[in-house]
Amino acid sequence: MAKVALLYFASLREATGCEREEVETGAADLAGLYAEAASRHGLQWPRERLRVAMDGAFAAWSEPPREGSEVAFIPPVSGG
């Protein structure tokens, strides 16, 4: 089990109702971590439309969650 903080932005924050939550996870990778969060909050975004970042850098979905890390699921961006 790893303890991680999850960050939510924009419509993902609206859907979860929170901008940050601490969770204990047994997920083997970040894809599994997203599946848990999507199930817990009823998130409709397919993982293919999102990117994931760990500790302030983009990461691969296949990476395992690091103990104590901060993980963000990034919906399509609309800056500029």
Partner 1 sequence: MGPTRSCTARFELATSDIDIGPLREGLLRDEAGAYASFEGWIRNHNDGRPVSGLRYEAYASLAVAEGQRIVEEAAGRFPVSGVHCVHRVGELPVGGLAVWVGASAAHRDAAFDACRYVIDQVKLRVPIWKHESYTDGPAQWLHPDEPGSPPRPA
Binding site for partner 1 (CB under 8 A): 7, 9-11, 14, 43-46, 48-49, 53, 56-58, 72, 74-80
Q: Which is nearer to partner 1, 15 or 23 (CB)?
A: 15
- Please check whether residue 70 is in contact with residue 35, taking contact to mean a CB–CB distance below 8 angstroms: no
Helix and strand counts by DSSP (H, E) for the chain: 2, 5
Instruction: Report, in Å, the least distance between residue 44 CB and partner 1.
Output: 3
> The dihedral of CA 10, 15, 21, 27: what is its sign?
negative
Instruction: Report, in Å, the least distance between residue 35 CB and partner 1.
Output: 15
